[in-house]
Amino acid sequence: MTTDVSGDVSAAVSLRGVRKVFGEVAAVDGVDLDVRDGEFFAMLGPSGSGKTTVLRMIAGFETPTEGSVRLGGRDVTGLAPFDRDVNTVFQDYALFPHMNVLANVEYGLKVKKVPAKERRERALQALRTVRLEGYDKRKPGQLSGGQRQRVALARALVNRPKVLLLDEPLGALDLKLREEMQVELKAIQRQIGITFLFVTHDQEEALTMSDRIAVFNAGRIEQVGTPAEVYERPASPFVAGFVGTSNLIEGQAALDILGREGVYSVRPEKLRVDTRLDAELPRDENSATGTVAEVVYAGAATRFVVDLDAGGRLVAVQQNLQASSMDVLKLRDARVRLAWRREHEFSITGPM
Ligand code: ADP
Ligand code: MG
């Protein structure tokens, strides 16, 4: 194997300078990406940012207009989907409705002419992995959404791909089931140890499940990092706003509050809302005064939207440790001081 200086040969998936143009639209506009072996990797971004197109180019359903795709160090840019060691789980599952669960899971192996006995054993094993033992005779129509999702997963896993591609795999499930499946998907990935590359537009899903996240915006990647890096040190205002609440302090407000120019941010849960405007402040804290524009009581926590005297607004989230709903709701229109530890404010320097 020859080593390409611009590509990481040990990476499970490696993209270099990948573009995809549909007519006038650059759906993907210059993407470099390395996904490590065994990683649970998320591509996160708003609708239309190019995530699915990237996934389809890795699977082989689309050919890049420019750039290269490598899998395990091997250039697969021009290869057909079935010549690549990947499998895809689609959001709509794409199960065959007339076939029972076992036949659905076996299908890929049948196409590959795997003998019937081995086919059956591997399919039953895959169904055990996704905890669907005993469901093999049912038709997809006799399953819940979560169970259909698992069949789709088993159908991909049965081929033992090096990389599993998942396009919004939990998108069709309601919130509670989605949260359960997030934990389960992660457990399955840990158990079988293959690389999972999944697409989501849900920041919380990306933060809770992934080893690393690539944040997409308009066909490009704005940042790649661990959940903590992306959340605590966003590389651009876009990332700060998409992965969490952006809470920007900029322009005159930055000069007045922090004494310097630039764009800064503090996460809502790092802000302390205080009605004592002139109580002494710890030496390691900064603060800003303002007026509460909105109070949203949400049981465990309350969300305050505060218009700063220096300009701009910040959102603060406080745990309702002692406070009742009555206590917090009467703070609407109140004068408050927001305080935070300096180590929790960060500067944002990337492109808008
Ligand atoms: P995402 O998955 O992040 O929502 P997509 O990759 O599906 O984004 O789409 C990115 C952009 O490319 C969108 O503007 C979309 O309309 C466009 N696009 C995707 N597929 C096609 C296609 N087959 N033909 C024309 N435009 C497409
Ligand atoms: Mg998509």
Q: State if residue 27 touches ligand 1 by the CB under 6 angstroms criterion.
A: yes
Q: What is the CATH number of the domain that holds 290?
A: 2.40.50.100
Q: What is the mean pLDDT of residues 177-183?
A: 87
148/258 same-domain check:
no
The residue nearest atom 13 of ligand 1, judged by CA position, is 48
pLDDT of residue 237: 86
Contacts of 54 (CB under 8 A, 6+ apart): 15, 18, 28, 31, 33, 43, 216
Probe residue for ligand 1, chosen from 31, 52, 202 as the CB with the greatest number of ligand atoms within 8 Å: 52
Distance from residue 331's CA to the centre of ligand 2 (Å): 41
Q: Name the DSSP class of 271.
A: -
171 and 124 in a common domain: yes
Q: What is the CATH number of the domain that holds 86?
A: 3.40.50.300
pLDDT of residue 90: 82
Ligand 1 atom closest to the Cα of residue 219 is 10
Same domain, yes or no, for 317 and 229?
Answer: no
Q: Which ligand is nearest to the CA of 51?
A: 1
Domain-embedded: residue 8:
no
* Residue 8: per-residue pLDDT: 55
Whether residue 191 lies inside any domain: the answer is yes
128 and 224 share one domain: yes
Q: What is the mean pLDDT of residues 38-42?
A: 97
Residues 98 and 25 in one domain: yes
Q: Has residue 92 been placed in a domain? A: yes
What separation in Å is there between the alpha carbon of 3 and the centre of ligand 2? 32
Ligand 1 pocket mutation pick from 53, 56, 203 by most atoms within 8 angstroms of CB: 53
Distance 55 CA to ligand 2 centre (A): 9
Instruction: Locate all alpha helices (DSSP H) within 90-174, ordered by sequence.
Output: 101-111, 116-129, 145-157
Range of the domain at 266: 248-348
pLDDT computed for residue 3 by the predictor? 43
pLDDT band at 94; cut points 50, 70, 90:
confident
Residue 352 clears pLDDT 80, i.e. is over it: no
The residue among 323 and 91 whose pLDDT is bigger is: 323
Q: What is the residue with the minimal CA distance to atom 17 of ligand 1? A: 27
Residue 58: its H or E element: helix 51-59
Residue 92 reports pLDDT greater than 80: no
Q: Kindly tell me if the per-residue pLDDT of 228 is higher than 50.
A: yes
Instruction: With cut-offs at 50, 70 and 90, classify the pLDDT of residue 9.
Output: low
Structure tokens at 89: 């789980």
Q: What is the mean pLDDT of the chain?
A: 92
Question: Where among 226, 242, 258 does a domain terminate?
Answer: 242
Beta carbon of 281 within 6 Å of any ligand 1 atom: no
Residue with the smallest CA separation from ligand 1 atom 11 is 27
Pocket of ligand 1 contains residue 51 by CB under 6 Å: yes
Furthest CA-CA distance within the chain: 78
Residues 87 and 204 in one domain: yes
Q: Are residues 114 and 223 in the same domain?
A: yes
Q: Whose CA is nearest to atom 24 of ligand 1?
A: 22
Residue 4 lies in a domain: no
Q: In what order do the strands lie in the sheet containing 13-22?
A: 25-35, 13-22, 66-71, 74-75
Whether residue 45 has its Cβ less than 6 Å from ligand 1: yes
235 and 308 fall within a common domain: no
> Shortest CA distance to 219 belongs to which of 340, 349, 47, 10?
47
Residues 6+ positions from 290 with CB-CB distance below 8 Å: 306, 307, 308, 309, 313, 314, 335, 336, 337, 338
Residues 103 and 170 in one domain: yes
The total of structural domains in the chain comes to 2
40 within 8 A of 196, measured Cβ to Cβ: yes
Residue 1 is assigned to a structural domain of this protein: no
Same domain membership, residue 285 and residue 173: no
Domain end position, chosen among 242, 275, 306: 242
Domain shared by 29 and 174, yes or no: yes
| Residue minimizing CA distance to atom 12 of ligand 1 | 27
Residue 332 lies in a domain: yes
Prediction pTM value: 0.86
Is residue 89 located within the same domain as residue 113? Answer: yes
In whole angstroms, give the CA distance from residue 129 to residue 127.
5
Where a domain ends, among 225, 242, 259?
Answer: 242
Position 7 in a domain: no
Burial grade of 288 (CB within 10 A; 0-12, 13-18, 19 or more): buried
Amino acid at 71: L
